[in-house]
Structure 1
């Protein structure tokens, strides 16, 4: 019986994760401050909190409207979520104040 040397077992190569494209929607006073209701964003963020930080880093008006000390609610694909929610490609993200009018 002959034995065939086995090839070394290697882990698959890690794939680089490129930027995600997400649709960001702004509501109520945040929309008024930013001056638009929505935009398509390319992001490296893995979570809603990281996306919020990226938007804040743009400077005004995002910095003032989405600042960490401000009460801002977030939704991911129309479900209220916390900052630790994972951001999937093609997601719809919404930022709005805790109380909005109709």
Structure 2
């Protein structure tokens, strides 16, 4: 599974993409949800938990925590956006 990273998420992880091998603890054979992905990433990268919000897009659409994901989906982490 490849996750696209933007803004501060890219800075935290140190790359614009993150590849998660299917053999990882998150990559079990049962269905996975966006919430489980966020929890797993929070354990691996504790700085992500400090963000005020973190949106996840699955296949170019914003996803809820209960959205089912699999290894073939395009996932993007979208941090809070500030502007002026």
TM-score, normalisation: structure 1? 0.64
Q: 1:85 to 1:29 in 2, by over 3 A?
A: same
Q: State the 1:36 CA deviation.
A: 0.5
The ranges of structure 1 where at least 4 consecutive aligned residues each deviate by more than 6 angstroms after the TM superposition are: none
Residue in structure 1 matched with residue 24 of structure 2 by the alignment:
none
TM-score, normalisation: structure 2? 0.76
For structure 2, which runs of at least 5 residues remain unmatched after alignment?
A: 22-26
Higher-RCO chain (CA-CA 8 Å, sequence separation at least 6): 2
Residue in structure 1 matched with residue 34 of structure 2 by the alignment:
48
Cα deviation, 1:57-97, whole Å, max 9, x if unaligned, reads 22xxx2112x1763111100111011110012311111111
Q: State the 1:100 CA deviation.
A: 6.6
Q: 1:46 to 1:97 in 2, by over 3 A?
A: same
Answering whether residue 49 of structure 2 is matched by residue 63 of structure 1, we say no
Count how many residue pairs are aligned between Structure 1 and Structure 2.
Answer: 76
In terms of fraction of residues, the more helix-rich structure is 2
For structure 1, which runs of at least 5 residues remain unmatched after alignment?
A: 1-21
Cα separation, 2, equivalents of 1:29 and 1:56 = 14
8 A Cα contact 2:51 2:80, kept in partner: no
